[in-house]
């Protein structure tokens, strides 16, 4: 079971060894994809959490909540206005994670939010402003 999550840290939790505890106590593999954290301040961390057992992930996410760390699946952070999209493919050219592709049969854009790493390339590349990414800014 793997998923990408944006973890929201408060000033109270930013200096705690949270990722170490996820690895040690919950047997979760943690891959840091993006971080915006300053000691003594709030911050956000984009991580991929992976474990073979869903119950471990559920317990880890519950523990995060219990210590005041918010979490949101990154798939919920990427929004795409499909109705405004003209399927130009500009965003797919900058999406190195493969979350945005252009179907060569239908010439329609395909967005797989589960592959998104919240880099923001699509937001900048889209001439129509169809993408928005909330990383907590």
pLDDT given for residue 85 in this prediction: 95
pLDDT given for residue 135 in this prediction: 59
Which CATH code, of 3.60.21.10, 3.30.2130.10, 3.30.70.260, 1.10.357.10, is assigned to 2-74?
3.30.70.260
End-to-end CA distance of the chain: 28
pLDDT digits (tens, 9 = 90+) for 33-80: 888 877 778 888 889 999 999 999 999 999 999 999 999 887 767 889
pLDDT given for residue 137 in this prediction: 46
Q: What percent of the chain has pLDDT over 90?
A: 58
Domain boundaries, given as residue ranges, for the chain = 2-74, 77-133
The mean predicted confidence, pLDDT, of the chain is 88
pLDDT given for residue 22 in this prediction: 95
Q: What is the pTM of this model?
A: 0.69
- 29-36: strand order across its sheet: 29-36, 43-50, 2-9, 70-73
Contact 117, 45 (CB under 8 A): no
What band does 124 get if pLDDT is binned at 50, 70 and 90? very high
**Parallel, antiparallel or unpaired: strands 2-9 and 78-80:** unpaired
Q: Can 2-74 and 77-133 be said to share one CATH topology?
A: yes
Contact 22, 56 (CB under 8 A): no
**What average pLDDT score do residues 68-93 get?**
89
**Does domain 77-133 sit in CATH 3.40.50.720?**
no
pLDDT given for residue 136 in this prediction: 52
């Amino acid at each position: 079971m793997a998923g990408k999550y944006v973890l929201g840290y408060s000033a109270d939790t930013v200096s705690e060894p949270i990722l170490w505890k996820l690895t040690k106590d919950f047997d979760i593999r943690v891959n840091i994809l993006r971080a915006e954290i300053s000691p003594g301040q709030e911050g956000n961390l984009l991580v991929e959490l992976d474990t073979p057992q869903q119950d471990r992930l559920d317990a880890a996410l519950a523990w995060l909540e219990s210590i005041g760390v918010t979490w949101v699946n990154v798939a919920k952070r990427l929004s795409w206005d499909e109705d405004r999209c003209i399927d130009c493919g500009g965003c797919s050219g900058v999406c190195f994670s493969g979350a945005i592709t252009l179907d060569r049969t239908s010439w329609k854009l395909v967005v797989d939010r589960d592959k998104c790493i919240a880099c923001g390339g699509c937001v900048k590349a889209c001439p129509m402003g169809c993408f928005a990414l909330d990383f907590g800014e």
